[in-house]
Amino acid sequence: MFESSEEIYGRVFADLKPRTPLPRIQIEFCRFANANSFIRLEEGRLHVRITDVLQNAPAPIQEALAYILIGKLYRKAISGNYAARYRRYLNRADVRGQLHMLRQARGRKFLSSPQGEHYNLETLFEELNHQFFHGLMSRPALGWSRRRSRTMLGHYDPSHNAIVLSRILDQASVPPLVVEYVMYHEMLHLRYPTEHHGARRCVHTPEFKHAEKEFPRLKEALALLKALPVG
Ligand SMILES: [Zn+2]
């Protein structure tokens, strides 16, 4: 029998919270720019907002996401099978393609100028391009992140073909070697695109790791990175 999304969430809720009366469930499919989903409990109403990419996903995928979201809401440990099932679906080539197009069409990328207060990302990129890639790598969009993230010092965004470095690196106390290394690492992501194997995303391929070892003073850069005196 066909189960509606609301029925799926009701069933999962009863499974995870058997003693709690079933709240009213409202599910909304939204035009997000990514695969994010949100859940909140408000005035006894369970409000779920899901990306419209999943609107036609098979019931087992909806069910897996329901377990993930309701589990998160109530801090309940759920079987790892649900997370794996959901991840595997998002990693499917057709779903990935759909999400990629979505990010391009809906996601806006706010990029700062490559010129920071201390470092210029364009200069940095071209120096490394010359040194390691025979100057042949075409320059992506380059910018500093808006937030001073310590956990994500850099990332390459294939949907917008952009390398973004954390603004926390743009200061005098950060040695040039560190900024060069982070930029080089992100350039390797551009050079060696992510491979997908089932549920696992293999971001650093063996070729990637091999190329990274060619960075001179790699150990020194990594040690500096660890001891980064950033405030
Ligand atoms: Zn990486």
Query: Please, are residues 165 and 154 in contact by the beta-carbon 8 Å criterion?
Result: yes
pLDDT digits (tens, 9 = 90+) for 6-35: 999 999 999 999 999 999 999 998 888 778
Distance 124 CA to ligand 1 centre (A): 18
Distance 152 CA to ligand 1 centre (A): 10
pLDDT digits (tens, 9 = 90+) for 159-192: 788 999 999 999 999 999 999 999 999 999 999 8
Which amino acid would we find at residue 48? V
Distance 176 CA to ligand 1 centre (A): 19
Please report, rounded to a whole number, the percentage of residues in the chain having pLDDT higher than 70. Answer: 93
Q: What is the DSSP letter of 201?
A: E
SS3 104: helix
pLDDT digits (tens, 9 = 90+) for 62-108: 999 999 999 999 999 999 999 999 999 999 999 998 888 887 777 76
Say yes or no to pLDDT of 219 above 60: yes
Of 3-7, 142-146, 170-174, 225-229, which range is least confident?
Answer: 225-229
pTM more than 0.75: no
Distance 94 CA to ligand 1 centre (A): 24
Distance 7 CA to ligand 1 centre (A): 40
Distance 153 CA to ligand 1 centre (A): 10
Distance 38 CA to ligand 1 centre (A): 27
Q: What is the pLDDT of residue 230?
A: 54
Q: Does domain 121-226 have CATH number 3.40.50.300?
A: no
- List the end-to-end C-alpha distance of the chain, in Å, as a whole number: 58
**DSSP-derived pairing of the beta strands 45-51 and 24-30:** parallel
Say yes or no to pLDDT of 146 above 80: yes
What residue spans define the domains of the chain? 5-106, 121-226
What pLDDT band is residue 197 in, cutting at 50, 70 and 90?
low
Distance 26 CA to ligand 1 centre (A): 38
Distance 204 CA to ligand 1 centre (A): 6
Q: What is the pLDDT of residue 147?
A: 85
Please report, rounded to a whole number, the percentage of residues in the chain having pLDDT higher than 90. Answer: 65
Q: What is the pLDDT of residue 201?
A: 59
Distance 186 CA to ligand 1 centre (A): 6
